[in-house]
Amino acid sequence: MSAQDAAASALKARNRMSAATVVRGFVGTRRLSGAAFGLFFMTSAVSALAQAAEEPSVDTILDRYIRALGGKAAIRKLTSRVAKGTITFPAQGITGNIEAWTMFPDKLLVITDLPGIGRLRQGYDGTVGWVEDPQTGIRQVTGAELDDLRRSAAFDRAQHMKDVFPGLAFKGRETVNGRDVWVLETKLDPLTYRMYFAVDTGLIVHFEMDQAEDGGGKSRVTLDPGDYRPVAGVMVPWSIKESGPAMGWEEKFTEITPNVVIDESFFARPRATTAP
């Protein structure tokens, strides 16, 4: 398999999962989100929070998270976000461009351009989820994959984590990438989500999710946000390292703009049904 083919396969897998994240937003985006959501994981430059002497409740962890993001007031001022940067597949030596457009309450569009592969887009307009692949054309997203994309597109999901991810349960204390973390988990058949909140700051420092595959089945994808910098009073990870079943890649953003006016039609499924 050529480097381009490998990267193309990874991009297809990447666009079959949210976002995270879209990060890209965890305050309202994902998987470019990363991305998602990424799909973006949003965090805040706040002073270190006191480490709990006892095991925290789910509500305590989520309340800490909201404060770490900059607080409800700052989050509520955001109505949209546009992030632009690069996506790199180190093992294949391929670097391309990525854009993540997100808008309140639940709209998402991630655009990825790679040399030798072309443009791949993933969108959600609040009802319909879709993927446009330069090789196979446009595909409508359904089932567990659509549910995952819908969670990624929830713009203010950080404030409604128990609604977006029902059944969240405390799973203990672990060490991830050298960080002491509290772990929350929920299983939303057939997917499982695990969120890792730093004990000292309250921020999400690691995220794992099962990725819905074509024809059923699932595979694990992990995201590690970093290089946090403020955007409109809310800290944003300007880089996201992601690892899938076959390879890893990294997204680095050079421009993140809040409260951009975006026409809702921008997120709609394209009319064309065949690949160019």
pLDDT tens, residue by residue, 141-166: 999 889 989 999 999 889 999 999 99
Q: Which domain holds residue 183?
A: 3-260
User: Is 266 contained in some domain?
Assistant: no
Reported pTM: 0.80
Residue type present at position 186: T
The answer to the question of residue 255 being in a domain is yes
Q: How many structural domains is the chain composed of?
A: 1
Q: Distance between CA 51 and CA 173 in Å, rounded? A: 12
Residue 182 falls inside a structural domain = yes
Q: Per the domain annotation, does 265 fall within a domain?
A: no
Assess if residue 273 is contained within a domain.
Answer: no
Does residue 68 form part of some domain? yes
CATH number (domain holding residue 243): 2.50.20
| Residue at 189 is within a domain | yes
What is the pLDDT confidence band of residue 9, given thresholds at 50, 70 and 90?
low
